[in-house]
Amino acid sequence: MNPSDPITGTHIHYFLVCPRKCWLSLHHLHQEADSDLVELGRLTHERTFARQQMREVDVDGFLRIDFTSEGIVHEIKHGQSEEQAHRMQLAYYLYQLRLRGVQTHGVLHYPNQRRKERVELTPELEAELQQVIQQVEALRQQPLPPQVPRPMRICRSCAYEEFCWSDDEEVEQ
Amino acid sequence: MKKSLYLTSSGTLSRDQNTLLLELETGEKRYFPIEQIGDIHCFGEASLNKRLLEYLTQQGVPVHFYNYYEYYLGSYYPREHNSSGFLTLKQAEHYLDESKRLDLARRFVRGALQNLQQVLRYYAHREKPVHPMIEGIAQVEAQLDNAASVETLMQLEGQAREMYYSAFDPVLQNPDFAFESRSRRPPANRLNALISFGNSLMYTLALSEIYRTHLDPRIGFLHATNYRRFSLNLDVAEVFKPVLVDRTVLTLVGLRQIQPEHFGEELGGVYLNDEGRKRFIQAWEERLQSTFQHRKLKRNVSYRTAVRLDLYKIEKHLIGEKPYEPFRAYW
Ligand code: SF4
């Protein structure tokens, strides 16, 4: 692991969904994404992308951001269950852009629910984001991944499921 | 679920747009969608070009080559797409630190010995006279904790395997498939030919699964790293050989699905012929795809997946999260 690897929007998202996933991702222990769910997410992304005539921009090699011509940041999400994590991921992009002198706002798209949400980097949201960034930095320094005592509901659809739950011993009741 | 592609006849393999094209010597053409292919095993003469290798690299598909005598020749192991510098350092650390290496090596041998006993218990339940061998292996297992070097562990495993093989004749009771003793290059009789062939498939299976993880196949713990290109797959294979290879062999012979006519003799050795090889591969794939209930994932997983799950356990051992407990068969 390179300690200066920048935090990405995905790390922020993962942290709010499952800190263990974030730790594993920070240590490059990515899992093969061959589940149908991931595929579904990719399709949703591609369709919306085409409709909105968006461009994907790679900022400094670690932020992959989708823009429209008006300079508004868009995030397209499949599934609504992780809204707070999505919002914070988008806030992180807005924050990183502001550090580079770009002031804009963002839109979260939930095409499958036909719903959109405007996201502004308000002082409140930014304060929250700063806390998350600090927590992710602290997490990176931990020598071991955070322990999750037993499978959670979200593990079912997580690409890391087989990694996390590989042991086949008796589960303590 | 990705599939293994086994090429038992000779032909040319190439890329045709976004599929894999196999042209047999007979002129017959077969197409395979690349997304469904996990790895490729070439037994016959295979011709392929760099354009295909580029495609296989991009898609992350390893290719394994065997010679006419079913010996493993080598593999095309595409550039790693999945590496973690963090984990590679941990893996090297566990190799270089003698006590860490010994601990891991001991875990592999213990896993192997437990599965050897498990296979024999399966036959003991079927009234086969193999209790003395189970006892003997258990006694060897009791000595593992005192082994102070990897070499000693290897010797103990060798002893256990010898006792285990001495159970094959009482299990099969088939003069056409007498075991006699273990002979490798060349295999001196049919049973040895089957075991050697199965072991080759096991080594490449482990290698293909390693490719899908973050582990470096060159750094093994029980098998010395120095003299081989790949060694971690040999370590992992020890754990699974009894359950996957030996059970396949014993079942094929026991059910008479493999017969003396499926072998040929050449250069002082005994080898499976084309039909024998096909039958073996079919039984092997059936075994890999058969499933059992996994208690943490709470769903059925195949034995092929079980191999990968063990690799994840090894990763967790290396990062210091949880000591590796090898897969155990519970029939
Ligand atoms: S499988 Fe569960 S515990 Fe593991 S990373 Fe995913 S969500 Fe977290």
DSSP string, B126-173: TT-S-HHHHHHHHHHHHTGGG--SHHHHHHHHHHHHHHHHTTHHHHH-
Answer whether B34 touches A (CB < 8 Å): no
- Provide the pLDDT for residue A173: 32
Task: Find all residues with CB under 8 Å of B48, minimum gap 6, and list them.
Answer: B12, B13, B14, B63
Which of A27, A32, A38, A152 to probe ligand 1 with, by most ligand atoms within 8 A of CB?
A152
Say if strands B291-294 and B299-302 run parallel, antiparallel, or are unpaired: antiparallel
As for the ipTM of the complex, it is 0.85
Instruction: Give the tens place of pLDDT for each residue, B149-197.
Output: 999 999 999 999 999 999 999 998 888 888 877 877 788 888 999 999 9
Q: Is the peptide bond before B186 cis (omega within 30 degrees of 0)?
A: yes
Chain A residue with minimum CA distance to B294: A168
Query: How far apart, in whole angstroms, are the C-alpha atoms of residue B1 and residue A161?
Result: 16
CB B221 within 8 Å of CB B234: no
Q: Which of B84, B295, B310 sits opposite A27 (nearest CB)?
A: B84
What is the separation, in whole angstroms, between the first and last Cα of chain B? Answer: 24
Is 60 exceeded by the pLDDT of residue A37? no
Q: How confident is the model at residue B330 (pLDDT cuts 50, 70, 90)?
A: confident
Query: How far apart, in whole angstroms, are the C-alpha atoms of residue B246 and residue B280?
Result: 12
Separation in Å, CA of B1 to nearest CA in chain A: 9
Separation in Å, CA of B321 to nearest CA in chain A: 6
Of the candidates B210, B172, B185, the residue with the CA atom closest to the CA atom of residue B88: B210
Query: How far apart, in whole angstroms, are the C-alpha atoms of residue B26 and residue B168?
Result: 41
Q: Which two tokens stand for residue B104?
A: 């891991």
Determine how many CB atoms are found less than 10 A away from the CB of residue B175: 7
Separation in Å, CA of A47 to nearest CA in chain B: 22
- CB contact under 8 Å between A29 and B321, yes or no, is no
**At CB < 8 A and 24+ separation, what contacts does A61-68 make?**
A62/A6, A62/A8, A63/A8, A63/A9, A63/A93, A63/A96, A64/A9, A65/A9, A65/A93, A65/A97
Residue ID of nearest Cα to ligand 1 atom 2: A155
Question: Whole-number mean pLDDT of chain B?
Answer: 91
Lowest-confidence segment of A67-71, B119-123, B181-185 by average pLDDT:
A67-71
Query: How far apart, in whole angstroms, are the C-alpha atoms of residue B52 and residue B249?
Result: 34
User: A16: CA distance to ligand 1 center in Å?
Assistant: 12
Q: Which of A1, A151, A166 sits opposite B85 (nearest CB)?
A: A1
CB A45 within 8 Å of CB A78: yes
Q: Which 3 state secondary structure label does DSSP give B192? A: helix
Q: Which of B214, B296, B319 sits opposite A171 (nearest CB)?
A: B296
Give the DSSP H or E segment for A135.
helix A123-141
Best mutation target among B89, B209, B296 (most A Cβ atoms within 10 Å) is B296
Is 50 exceeded by the pLDDT of residue A171? no
Q: Is B171 exposed, middle or buried (0-12, 13-18, 19+ CB in 10 A)?
A: buried
Neighboring chain B residues of A144 at a CB cutoff of 8 Å: 319-321
Q: What is the mean pLDDT of residues B17-29?
A: 90
- Provide the pLDDT for residue A172: 37
Residue given tokens 């690349």 in the structure block: B34
Answer whether A171 touches B (CB < 8 Å): yes
Q: Which two tokens stand for residue B223?
A: 């098998």
Answer whether B295 touches A (CB < 8 Å): yes
Q: Which two tokens stand for residue B235?
A: 């370590």
Chain A residue with minimum CA distance to B313: A166
Alpha helices in chain B (DSSP H): 50-59, 85-96, 98-124, 131-142, 150-165, 168-172, 190-211, 232-241, 247-254, 274-289, 303-318
Residue given tokens 């991944």 in the structure block: A145
Q: Note the pTM of the prediction, 2 decimals.
A: 0.89
